């Protein structure tokens, strides 16, 4: 029997790194399969799931703008947004190959491959049990996909933002540089901002803080962790209002 979940509607943020092998770029269907298996298990719990894709496995707009000659920053950011659509298409077909119904919505109009993002239409798809993949960021340059995820969560009134990463959660310092870095089980939005912790970008944190949407940062590569996060199990790090932080966190 499927485990019940405390969250009815979830916004899952997956970075571009989730679409390729560690240290590589491009697309790896084996890596995408790791995501697909876990997403399918979540949908079997009856959770309404929207997914925001990053595109760093193909191109990061900001970084590309910094190193390229002759390409303006807005153009580089649009190129990065198009990379997220490529990832969204791959994820859509992979999910539908295992009988998970999906819709791909893009913030940049491209009717041949994706629906436009319309909030009411997105709501209806979610209510019907379809996984909605939200691609192309916000459709405007100079905005990260983290912020697109936070804004999307506010628009669709998600109960939580799950940030799937390849690390176990939020640390006090980079654990690769300091083996004594502390892994937080819970931390407030304010502390994330004051300590300049690299959870999500500052704008994304502010949006979640304003709407009091919890963020769960966790390692999706451990089998079943997405379903555990949806079920409210204490994995990774939860970012919450200060008033909700438990005394033993």
Single pTM value for the model = 0.92
Sheet of 9-14, strands arranged across:
115-116, 102-106, 131-135, 48-53, 9-14, 160-165, 215-219, 237-240, 186-188
Spatial separation of the C-alpha atoms in residues 135 and 113, rounded to whole Å = 11
Share of the chain above pLDDT 70, in %: 95
Q: Which residue has the higher pLDDT, 4 or 162?
A: 162
Each residue of 9-63: pLDDT tens digit?
A: 999 999 999 999 888 889 999 999 999 999 999 999 899 999 999 999 998 877 7
CA 79 to chain centre: 19
Q: What is the pLDDT of residue 3?
A: 46
| Neighbouring C-alpha atoms within 13 Å toward the C-beta of 128 | 12
Binding site feature residues for UMP: 55, 138-145
User: Would you state the pLDDT for residue 68?
Assistant: 66
What are the angstrom distances between the C-alpha of 133 and each of 23, 73, 204, 247? 25, 26, 19, 37
Q: What is the pLDDT of residues 130-187, one digit of tens each?
A: 999 999 999 999 999 999 999 999 999 999 999 999 889 999 988 888 989 999 999 9
User: Domains of the chain, with CATH numbers?
Assistant: 9-244 (3.40.1160.10)
Binding-site positions for ATP:
13-16, 56, 60, 165, 171, 174
Cβ–Cβ < 8 Å for 114, 83: no
Binding residues: 13-16, 55-56, 60, 138-145, 165, 171, 174
């Amino acid at each position: 029997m499927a485990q019940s979940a405390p969250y009815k509607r979830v916004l899952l943020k997956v970075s571009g790194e989730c679409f390729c092998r560690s240290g590589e770029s491009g697309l790896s269907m084996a890596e995408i399969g790791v995501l697909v298996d876990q997403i399918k298990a979540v949908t079997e719990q009856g959770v309404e799931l929207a997914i925001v894709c990053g595109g760093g496995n193909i191109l990061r707009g900001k970084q590309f703008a910094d190193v390229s000659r002759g390409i303006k920053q807005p153009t580089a950011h649009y190129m990065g947004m198009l990379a997220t659509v490529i990832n969204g298409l791959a994820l859509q077909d992979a999910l539908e190959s295992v009988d998970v119904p999906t819709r791909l919505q893009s913030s940049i109009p491209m009717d041949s491959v994706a629906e436009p993002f319309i909030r009411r239409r997105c709501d209806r798809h979610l209510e019907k049990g379809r996984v909605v993949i939200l691609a192309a960021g916000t459709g405007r340059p100079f905005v990260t996909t983290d912020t697109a995820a936070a804004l999307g969560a506010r628009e669709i009134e998600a109960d939580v933002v799950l940030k799937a990463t390849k690390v176990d959660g939020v640390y006090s310092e980079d654990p690769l540089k300091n083996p004594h870095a502390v892994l937080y089980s819970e931390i407030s939005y304010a502390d994330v901002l004051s300590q300049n912790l690299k959870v999500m970008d500052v704008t994304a944190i502010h949006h979640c803080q304003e709407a009091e949407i919890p963020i769960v940062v966790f390692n999706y590569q451990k089998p079943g962790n997405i379903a555990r996060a949806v079920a409210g199990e204490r994995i990774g790090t939860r970012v919450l209002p200060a008033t909700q932080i438990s005394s033993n966190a």
